[in-house]
Amino acid sequence: MGSAKRAPHTAPETAARIRDAAIAEFAAHGFSRTTVRGIAEAAGVSPGLVIHHFGSKDGLRAACDDYVFEALTETKRENAGRSPLVVAAMVSDDSMRTDLEYLLKSLLDPSEQGQRFFDHYVEVIEQIVENGFAGYVLRKAEDRRAQATAIAMLALAPMMLEPRIRRALGTDDLPASFARITPYLFDLYLNGVIESIPDGLDVPGPRATPGSQHDPPSEAAPDPDTH
């Protein structure tokens, strides 16, 4: 018996085409202004077929969220061992730029879906702190959630402030901005930014996980025989 042929519009390729069109539409117009009809038109299918594959606009957005997260994470993983300046080249890629625009729209979206996206981002960073990433080992703080949230703030700020950064630096586009700031961001992650603090200023730092190689050295207990 020959294998049954799949109907053209039920193929996984159709769902992928709808998803890709939705990512581009969401990135260009935002979530509230993008319609199922507009996505269907961009994908070359009927609105009913969009609903058939994803159930609803929210279901489609959830699928887009998952895809963009995986795509960005995989791109970072593939380039983790290369020069930090590779980031500037990465954002020059059209598909990568679309994913980053989608990321930005999600972060600025005040809805629950926008919060879900940020929460997921923080959870991914928590996993990276715990398990490392492509050869990088991160310090493990006692309050892992606060640590991951702080890292997320640093990681996402360049995208959220990109127009301001471009104007401050006098650069023409996102790749040029990243080429300027990436070495300093990498140095900030690796070496910190404060060289010294005023005498007498008590600044409690985050506690490392007990037993971590990054724990601050503890003061030796006094030898009772010497007192």
pLDDT single digits (tens) 167-224: 999 999 878 888 888 888 888 888 888 888 888 888 776 765 554 444 444 444 445 4
Alpha helices in the chain (DSSP H): 12-29, 36-43, 47-54, 57-79, 86-90, 94-108, 112-131, 144-160, 162-169, 174-191
Q: What is the mean pLDDT of residues 69-73?
A: 80
On whether the CB atoms of residues 43 and 21 are closer than 8 A, the answer is yes
124 in any annotated domain: yes
pLDDT at 133: 79
**Count of domains forming the chain:** 1
- Residue 180 lies in domain: 11-78+85-193
CA distance 165 to 221: 50
Give the angle subtended at the CA of 111 by the CAs of 155 and 15, to the nearest 5°: 85
57 in any annotated domain: yes
149 in any annotated domain: yes
198 in any annotated domain: no
On whether the CB atoms of residues 36 and 50 are closer than 8 A, the answer is yes
In one-letter notation, the amino acid at residue 33 is R
The pTM score is 0.67
Q: Which of 13-22, 29-38, 86-95, 108-117 has the lowest mean pLDDT?
A: 86-95
Band (pLDDT 50/70/90 cuts) for residue 9 is low
In one-letter notation, the amino acid at residue 58 is D
More confident residue, 21 or 101: 21
Cβ neighbours of residue 217 closer than 8 Å, sequence gap 6 or more: none
Q: What is the mean pLDDT of residues 122-137?
A: 86
Q: What is the mean pLDDT of residues 54-67?
A: 92
121 in any annotated domain: yes
21 in any annotated domain: yes
Q: What is the mean pLDDT of residues 37-55?
A: 95
Q: Which of 93-107, 122-136, 210-224 has the lowest mean pLDDT?
A: 210-224
pLDDT at 217: 45
Instruction: Give how far Cα 93 sits from Cα of 56, 89, 99, 108, 157, Å.
Output: 30, 7, 10, 23, 20
CATH number, domain containing residue 31: 1.10.357.10
224 in any annotated domain: no
Give the three-class secondary structure for 158.
helix
Band (pLDDT 50/70/90 cuts) for residue 162 is confident
CA distance 83 to 80: 8
60: pLDDT strictly greater than 50 = yes
Sign of CA dihedral 97, 178, 152, 211: positive
- The conformational region for residue 220 under phi > 0 = left, psi -120 to 50 = alpha, else beta, is beta
1 in any annotated domain: no
